[in-house]
Structure 1
C-alpha cells in the first residue's frame, strides 16, 4: 500500500468510523480495563487480609488470655478448696481459735504450714498463704518457692503484708466472701480469706508476679491488666479504657488510640476482669511474608497504573497520533511533514518507509511543478504577443485618421510619441519591466490619444518613489489606461484618468496597491461578472476581449494566490490591484 492508499484508508467517510476501533485508544483502554480492576481487587483483598490478620491477632491474644485465665481460676479454686478444708476440718487450724501456750502454737502450726506449702508448690500463681489468730496474736506465713526473690525482699514483703492483713481483719475490713484487690506497700495484691471463729486463713496473689509468669510461662508478650469490671486496678498503662470499651474488648477486640497503640482483649474470671494489652506496632508487623507480598503487589499495581499508562502513551499512542497527524498533513498538501523515529522496531520500519515515500512524492511534485512552470512561461509569452497586435492596430488607425484630416504637425508629434512607445514595445525582452517605464508609457499613450483626437485628457499620476523599479508585467497598466480612454469618454465631459501606486503596510507583510480609475460610465454588470469569474469577456457579437483577461492572467501566473484584483464602479470605472512587495526585488 503506497502513501495515497494510507491517506485513503485514514480519510474515509466519518460515518464508517463508528464501526472501527482506534488502536491508540484500544491499547491503553485494554491496559486500564485490566489493571484498574486488578488493582481494586488487590486493594480490597489487601484490606481483607489486613482485617483478617488483625482479627487473627486478636484471636491469638484471646487464646493466650483464656489459657492464663483457666490456670488462674484453677489456682483460685484450688486455693479456696484448701482453705475451706482447713477451716472446716483441720483440728490443728481450728485450735488457734482459742488461747494457746506458745509451745502448743508452734506444735499445732507445723502441720498447717505443711498444707500451705503443698498448696503453694502446686499453684505457682500464689504468692503467699498465712494464718492469723487475733486471740493468740499469732501470724505465720509461707511463700512460694517459685518466686525469685531474695531473703531481704521476702522479709520486706512480710513486713508490709503482715501488719496490713492484721489491720484489715482487726478492723473488720477484710472481705471474707471473695477475692478482692488491695494495695500494700506500693504493690497490688489479690487477697482471699476464710475463717473459723477467730482464726483466719489468708491467700495472696501478687499481680506484678502474675505478669512475669504470663510472659515466662504463657508467652504473653504484653501486659496483664486487672480490674473489677468497671475500673482498672493494676497496672495502669494510661489506656483510658471506659467500661464500654472494656466490654467491647471482651466481646471482640480493641485497638487503642494512645500514642503507643495496644491490641486489647479481655475475659471475665468471676467478678475479676482480666485485660490483656499487647503492643500493636501496625498491621505489617502482624502479617506473614505471603500477606506482605500481596500487599506490596497491590501497592505496586496502584502505583504502576499511571506510570505504565504514560509509558504506553509514549511507546504506542504518541507514535500512532504522530503518524496520523503526518498523514493528515500530507493530505493537505504539506509534503515537508515527516514522521519521527521511535524505539519500537515496527513503528520505526513503518515510519522509515513512509518518510521514503514522502521524499519520492516530493521529488515527483517538484519535477511536475517545474514542467508546469515551463508551460506557464510559454503561455505567458503567448498572452503578451496577443496584447501587442491589439495596441498596434489602434495606434495605426489613429494616425490614418489624422492623415486624412491633414494634421501633419500633429502627425509629427504623434509619430514622436508613437516611436517612443514602439521603442518601449520592441525592446521588451523579459516578462517584467520596471514600474517607472510602464508609468511613462501610460502617460505617453494618454498624450498620444489627446493629440490624435483633439480632446484634452486630465491625467493624474502619483506613485511611491520607493516602488519605481519594482517588476510588473509589461503593457499591464497600459491596458487599463487604453480601456479607460476607449470606453470612458462621455459627451460634454472631460475625461479624467487616475493612476496611483502606493504601499500598504500590515503586521504580516507589505502590499503594493495600484489604482486605475476614470470618470466615465463605468463597467457593465456582465464585464464585472466575467472578471470576478476570471473568464474571458465576450461581447454580444461573439467577439473575445482578451486585454484585461490577459493582464489578470499574467499577474496570477507570477504571484499566484497572493495576487488580488477588484473591479467596481465609483464615479466611473475603478480598478484595484494588490500583490506582495519584496524588498530588494527591483529591476
Structure 2
C-alpha cells in the first residue's frame, strides 16, 4: 500500500496563513470605500436626529398641554367633582356634558387625541367623546375596555402609560377624584402618522417602541411581520436595523413617558449609489479574493479542525463511560497521527486496568453480601433450636413435632429463595411462619397482623428484612404477663419526585432505648453487637439500593420501624440483573 504524504503542521499552517493574508491585504484597500460610505450615512444620521428631536419635542409638548387641561378640570371644575358622588342621572349627564364640550375644543387643537372618557363609579355611568377623524376605530369596544380598566383599577395614576386596547397600543392618562375618572387615550399608530407628515415621501418611518424595542406601532411601508427592532452598530458611528429585506438607519429618543421610546427609521442608502467605476472594479477584485477564503477554511478544517473535533468527541465519549471508542489517525499531519496512536494505546491500557478493578470490586461486593447473609440467618436458626430444646425438656413431643414440621417447611422455602430478593408476599409468609413458631414456645400470647396493598405483593425486597424487625420485637419488646402485639403495614407513597414503598413494623413493647435511637437513625452501617440483625439489614440495604432506601426508627407506644424503598412501575420491578452473582 502506498504511503500517504505527510508534512509538518508548521509548514501546513504557514501555507494556510499565506493564503489568508494576501486576500486580507486586498480587502484592506476596500476599507477606505467602506469608511467613505460610513461618513455619508453618519451625516444623514445627524440631519435626521434633529428632525426626531423636533418630533419628540412637539409630541411631548402636546402631552404636557393635554395633561394640564385634564389636571385643571379635575382640580377646579365642580362638574367633575359632582361625578364622584351618587347623584341623579340628569345631574350626572349635565356635568359630564359640560366637561366633554371642553374636551371637544382640546381635541380640535390636538389631533393626536383619540378620545376622552368620563366614568362615575357611584352612578355606574360612562361617557365618551371621540376625535371626529377616528370613525374607523371600534368605539364601543374601546369604551368597554376603558370602562373595564377603571372598574378593575388596572391603571397607573402617576402619569402617561401604554395599554393594549382593542388589540392596538394606546397612550393612556387617568385622573381620579374620589370615584370619578377622567381618561384620555392616544392611538400611538395614528399619532406617529400625524407627526411624520413627510414620512411617505422619503420612505422614512416614525414609530413608537417599548424599552426593549418591541414595536408599539406599525407603518404601511414596513414589513408587517416586524414586531421587535434589533440594532447593530458593527463599529460604525450609527446604528442600523433590518425590517424585512430593507435596512434602515436607527435613531431613537426618549420623551416624557417612562418605558416608551420614539424611533425614527431612515432608509439606508445603498453603497452602489456612491460608487464610481474604479471603486466597482476594486469591489469585484475583493469579491474574487473573498472566494479564496472557503478554500483556506477547507484546508484548515481538513488539517486541524476535524482532527481536533475528533479528539474532543473521543474524550467526551470516554468521559461518558464508553471505552470502546478509538481516535482516528487519518489526518495528513504527522504529529496528529502520532498523537492518535499514542492516545489509543493509552486508552487500551486504561480499559484493561478498569476491567481488572471492576472485577475486583464485584468480588469484594459478593464476599460482603455472602458474609451478611451467613451472619444474619444463624441468628434465627439458633433461636429455633433453643426453642426445640426447651420443648424437649418439658416433654411436649406433639408440639415438638408440629414445630419441626413448620421449621422444616420454613427452611426448605428459605433455601429455595433467591439470595438477593424475594417477593413481599413470600417475605410475609416466612414472617408469619416464624411468628407461629414463636407462639408455640411462649406462654404469653403473641398477636400478629398484616395490612399489605394487593398491588405490592409481588414487589421484590431483600430476604429476612421484615422478619429481622419482627424477631427484634420478640426479643426486646415482651413484658411479663402482657400480650405482645405486632402489626405490619405496607403501602405505596407517591409524589412528583420519587415513589416509595413504605413498610411499617410496629409493636406495643418497650420500644427502643432513647440512647440508641440516634445511633440507629444514623447513616452508619458498622457492626452492632446488640442489634446484629438490624445492622446487617442496614448494610445490605446500603449495598443493594446505593443509599436510596431509608430506614427510620422511633417509639410510638412501642418500637416503630419505617422502611422506604424506591418504587418503579411494574414492568421495571423485575429482579435486578446480576453480574457474576452480584446485584
Alignment TM-score, normalising by the size of structure 2: 0.43
Alignment TM-score, normalising by the size of structure 1: 0.43
